Amino acid sequence: MDLMAHILVQGTQMLLVLALAPLLTGLVRKVKARLQRRRGASVFQPYRDLARLLRKEAVLAQNASWLFRVVPYLVFAATWVAAALVPTFATGLIFSWSADLIAITALIGSARFFLALAGMDVGTSFGGLGSSREVMISSLAEPAMIMIVFSLALVAHSTQLSTIASVMLAGVGLRVSLALALVALLMVAVAENGRIPVDNPSTHLELTMVHEAMVLEYSGRHLALIELAAQLKLLLFLSLVACVFVPWGLAPVGAGVAGMVLGMATYAGKLAVGALLLAVFETSIAKMRVFRVPDFLGAALMLGLLGTLLLFVSGIL
């Protein structure tokens, strides 16, 4: 019975992240519209967009290879697994042993690698442009993410997210290194999700777009899977920040139904606050030029490296 209960909780988490990802995107868009004094679309509009895309026929270019057809499924699967491994409302789930920060980073990197290949597969100029920019961004974002993982591992003596959340919840005090890691993680999250100021997911300007340029040739169910993967990725990073730096409210191992429900309510509140802060940030800042992105991510890499060095040298800062 215990095994069945653990599988049920883990399955609930997998379905929860899948169900909440479009709602989170819709909430960010709605708050941004209200901040700009527009009515904006409903928070449920992303669900309608996904349903509309799933009903449409997938149109493929004549020179598209098998890789172009397979990549949407690979990207969606890798991102969904990564998002489902992050403890959202409970810790100590049955797959918590595999909820390793390095594994999650590898899953995100694999999804990006295949998407970049698909962008170049058809041979259009937009696809190649988007893929080259995406690889340039990832070449700085991934090392910065690894530095953040090292900082957290030095504090918690583990890279498993359930262990890190338990250590943070037990109280590690105010540390300069953790503050640096948090700022670096937020900067990496902005770049990984193609948000302002690195990219603008709501425009298709030739000179600035990155992610949208890679997926211009996709349509129908393929585009729906890629859009849903992008929404899952945004939820993944917000969940990661909430799990590591705001771990309060997570249901412990063996918590009953009431504890799980309380954990879900707390998790929903954290996502709502994260969506509000993201919308305010994007409304108050302009998009930077593409050649400024390396400076932005270089700063994230330096912050992550500085946090790791502080912990390695002092052990307490």
Q: What average pLDDT does the chain have? A: 88
Per-residue model confidence (pLDDT) at position 21: 95
Whether the Cβ atoms of residue 99 and residue 253 lie closer than 8 Å to each other: no
Cβ burial 254-281 (10 Å sphere, 16+ → b, else e): ebeeebbebbbebbbebbeebbeebbee
Report the number of distinct structural domains present in the chain: 1
- Can you give the pLDDT at residue 315? 65
Residue type, 216: L
pLDDT tens string 141-173? 999 999 998 888 888 888 888 888 888 888 777
Phi, psi of 100 (to 5 degrees): -100, 140
* Residue range of the domain that includes 12: 1-314
Taking the C-alpha atoms of residue 271 and residue 237, their distance in angstroms, rounded to an integer, is 10
Nearest to 247 by CA among 152, 171, 142: 171
| pLDDT at res. 73 | 96
Residue 73 CA, chain-centre distance (Å), reads 17
Q: List, in sequence order, the alpha helices (H) in the chain.
A: 2-35, 45-55, 66-85, 101-121, 125-156, 161-170, 176-192, 211-214, 220-245, 257-284, 293-314
The pLDDT tens digits of the residues spanning 211-245 come to 777 888 899 999 999 999 999 999 999 999 998 88
Q: Which two tokens stand for residue 112?
A: 């990006």
